[in-house]
Amino acid sequence: MKLTGEGRKYTRADGYVEIYFPSHPDATGHGTVLEHRLVAGKHLGRRLDKDEVVHHKDHNCAHNVWSNLVVMRRKEHDALTLAEEREKTKLLRSRLAEYERRFGAL
């Protein structure tokens, strides 16, 4: 894919938004930077460390307003993600049990 026009936004297949910004020190080989990292860096007034991750509170990776973002270390983000997955699994099991109680086993 040929990217042109500094500042143009592109949505990747996984839903993350990239901005064409080849002059940015953290730009990829294609000249893009993830929008959520730019927003967080601008808010903090500095570039993010390689070990810093930007978490989307609402899990919508295209919703890149500062009020929806939290900067944390990768290890913290991994722990948060694991805890969220456990809660999601617990909720799904509870819903399945309720369904089976009402309508019988699947």
pLDDT in the model for residue 6: 77
pLDDT band at 84 (very low <50, low <70, confident <90, very high): very high
What digits encode the pLDDT tens for the residues 18-75?
A: 999 999 999 999 999 999 999 999 999 999 999 999 999 999 999 999 999 999 999 9
Q: Which CATH number characterizes residue 90's domain? A: 3.90.75
CB neighbours (10 Å) of residue 98?
A: 10
pLDDT in the model for residue 28: 95
Residue 2 within any structural domain of the chain:
no
Closest among 72, 22, 14 to 48, alpha carbons compared = 72
Closest among 72, 68, 60, 73 to 14, alpha carbons compared = 60
Structural domain for 58, as ranges: 9-103
**36/53 Cα distance (integer angstroms):** 10
| Residue 3 predicted with pLDDT over 60 | no
Q: Is the pTM of the predicted complex or chain greater than 0.85?
A: no
Residue 1 within any structural domain of the chain:
no
Q: Which two tokens mark 54?
A: 């930007």
User: Total domain count for the chain?
Assistant: 1
Closest among 56, 60, 25 to 39, alpha carbons compared = 56
